[in-house]
Amino acid sequence: MDIKFVEREVLKEKPKSNFGFGKYYTDYMFMLDYTEGKGFHDGRIVPFGDITINPSMMVLHYAQETFEGLKAYRTKDNEILLFRPEMNAKRMMKSNKRMCMPQIPVEDFVQAVNDLVNIERDWVPSEEDTSLYIRPFMYADEFGVGVRPSKTYKFMIILSPVGNYYPEGVNPVKIYVEDEYVRATEGGTGFAKCGGNYAGSLAAQVKAEKLGYTQVLWLDGTHRKYIEEVGTMNVMFLIDNEIYTAPIDGTVLPGVTRDSIIHILKDWGYKVNEVHLDINELMKAAKEGRLQEGFGTGTAAVISPIGELNYKGEIITLNDFKTGELTQKLYDTLTGIQWGKIEDKYNWTHVVK
Distance, CA of 207 to CA of 178 (rounded, Å): 9
Q: What's the min distance (Å) between Cβ of 224 and ligand COI?
A: 24
Residue among 172 and 231 whose Cβ is closer to ligand COI = 231
| Least Cβ distance, residue 146 to ligand COI (angstroms) | 30
Sketch the per residue contact string, 55 through 74, with ligand COI: x for CB under 6 A, - otherwise.
--------------x-----
Residue 112 has a CB neighbour count (10 Å cut-off) of 25
Q: Please tell me whether residue 300 binds ligand COI under the rule CB under 6 A.
A: yes
CA distance 261 to 255: 10
311 or 348: CB nearest ligand COI: 348
Q: How far apart are alpha carbons 235 and 16 in whole angstroms?
A: 32
Nearer to ligand COI, 83 or 311 (CB): 83
- Is 299 a binder of ligand COI (CB under 6 A)? yes
DSSP string across 37-67:
TTEEEEEEEEES------TTBHHHHH--EEE
CB of 288 to ligand COI, least distance (A): 33
Binding region for ligand COI (CB under 6 A) out of 111-119, 169-177, 295-303, 329-337: 295-303
d(CA 58, CA 188): 20
For residue 262, the minimal CB distance to ligand COI (Å) is 17
Is residue 298 part of the contact set for ligand COI (CB under 6 A)?
yes
- Shortest Å distance, C-beta 155 to ligand COI: 16
CA distance 184 to 58: 23
Residue 321 to residues 293, 306, 313, Cα–Cα distance (Å): 10, 8, 18
The answer to whether residue 232 forms part of the interface with ligand COI (CB under 6 A) is yes
Residues 276 and 295: their CA atoms lie apart, in Å, by: 17
Closest separation in Å from C-beta 300 to ligand COI:
3
Region near ligand COI per CB under 6 A, out of 35-43, 168-176, 208-216, 293-301 = 293-301
For 48-172, strand residue ranges (E) read 65-67, 70-74, 80-83, 131-140, 152-162
For binding to ligand COI (CB under 6 A), which residues are involved? 69, 232, 298-300
